[in-house]
Each structure stands twice: as C-alpha cells, then as structure tokens.
C-alpha cells in the first residue's frame, strides 16, 4: 500500500462513525437511524477495501504476473480469486 496516510485517515473516519453507532445504541436511538449509520460505516469500509484492492492489483499483482516465478503468479492469482469468492458470501 502506497498511500498509508489516506488509508489510515479513512479507517479513523470509519472508526469514529462506528463509535457514533455505539453511542446511538447506548442512547436508545431510533432503530432505522442506527441501521442507516451502520450502512454508512459498511459503505465506507467497502470503499476502502476497493481502494486497497485496486492498489494491490496495480502493484503486487502486476509484479507477480511479470515475474519469473510461476508459483508466485499462481499464489497471487489464487488470493484474488479468494477475495472475490469471500465477497460473494457477504
């Protein structure tokens, strides 16, 4: 990951939103409002995950595919497949 500061900033933002959801639950907020905030946290994390995956595809994956080690190519391609498979289960 090349842009650590941006990723950390986004994680801290999501963390702040999640703490807000916890306060809402503690304060017995309206259920739909809590759900909307949870959805906002999920969307934020999904966007961050996509950003990290894009960086991975444009760095680690390209390096492995261009490399001489066929087992490394296979390993990296398998990881990508596993990430997409896991996404389908969510």
CA distances from 74 to 23, 62, 77 (A): 45, 12, 5
**Average pLDDT, rounded, for the chain:** 91
- What CATH homologous superfamily does 4-89 map to? Metal-sensitive repressor, helix protomer (1.20.58.1000)
Q: Give pLDDT tens digits for 22-61.
A: 999 999 999 999 999 999 999 999 999 999 999 988 998 8
Against a cut of 0.85, is the pTM above it? no
> Quick check: 23 and 33 in contact, CB under 8 A?
no
Q: Inform me whether the pLDDT recorded for 1 exceeds 70.
A: no
Enumerate residues 6+ apart whose C-beta is below 8 A from 59. 2
């Amino acid at each position: 990951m090349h842009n650590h500061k941006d990723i950390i900033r986004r994680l801290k933002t999501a963390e702040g939103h999640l703490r807000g959801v916890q306060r809402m639950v503690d304060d017995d907020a309206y259920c739909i409002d809590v759900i909307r905030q949870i959805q906002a946290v999920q969307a934020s994390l999904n966007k961050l995950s996509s950003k990290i995956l894009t960086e991975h595809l444009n760095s680690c994956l390209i390096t492995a595919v261009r490399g001489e080690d066929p087992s490394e190519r296979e390993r990296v391609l398998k990881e990508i497949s596993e990430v997409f498979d896991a996404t389908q289960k969510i």
